[in-house]
Amino acid sequence: MFTDTHCHLADPALLPQLPEVLAAARAANVCRFIVPATCRADWAAVLALGAANTHSAIGIHPWFAAEAGADDLAALSQLLTQHPQALVGEIGLDFLHERPSNEARARQISLFEQQLRLAEQHRRPVIIHNLKASAAIVAAVRTTRFSQGGIVHAFSGSLEEAQAFIRCGFKIGIGSLLLNPAAKKARQAAAALPLEHIVLETDSPFMLKNEINTPANVRVIAETVAGLRGISVAALSMQTETNVAQLLAFHTNPKK
């Protein structure tokens, strides 16, 4: 069994065909799904997903930092109270998309830190988007004293960056970048990082050129990771599923 730890099942590219998408995933032995939102407009649809073994995450993506306000954060906090099994995400920092100004970066950091504080308050793991912002993300985690862990998704950085995230308590999301043979850093991370810190994902419906990505592709990603590491797909499944179970244990074993 495998889990797609980052798939946007409520996206219009997937939602109308969701039964078929999930059936294809399960045929590939991908049987559990973590589904993040990106903005307030997504939250209701993501939370309404009723498929078995589907875990929702709600948050505000850094691309929407300019529009986010105090009312959005208050609404997020209320929904986290109402949905005790929801994670927080997709949140984070993006210093590459549209090359944000210093002011825009500051807005992103402020929003990210506020959502980390909410996640800490509600004791939820987070799903982190990171583009060219690793040092700032680690700094924000330390500033907020965030301790609930989560996933740095679609990892594409150096082994040193990955180790910094691991020291902060995060799993490293290995995904569809591996399907590009030129993605040297992603392949190096998949091959060299301690297996107990890796989870698998697609970021569907995104990441593939000229076709819609789907959770079934976790199987192809798993086969690639297993090949890079020289281990069996079964051994990879056993450890990555243990990693996901640890991540999702927050709502069955809450901290006192």
- Known binding residue 11? Answer is no
- Known binding residue 90? Answer is yes
- Known binding residue 6? Answer is yes
The total number of residues written for the chain in this structure: 256
DSSP assignment of 196-255 = GGEEE---BTSSSTTS---GGGHHHHHHHHHHHHT--HHHHHHHHHHHHHHHHGGGTS--
| Rounded Cα distance, 201 and 156, in Å | 13
- Known binding residue 203? Answer is yes
Give the strand pairing for 198-200 and 170-174: parallel
- Known binding residue 129? Answer is yes
Binding residues are 6, 8, 90, 129, 153, 203
Binding residues for a divalent metal cation are 6, 8, 90, 129, 153, 203
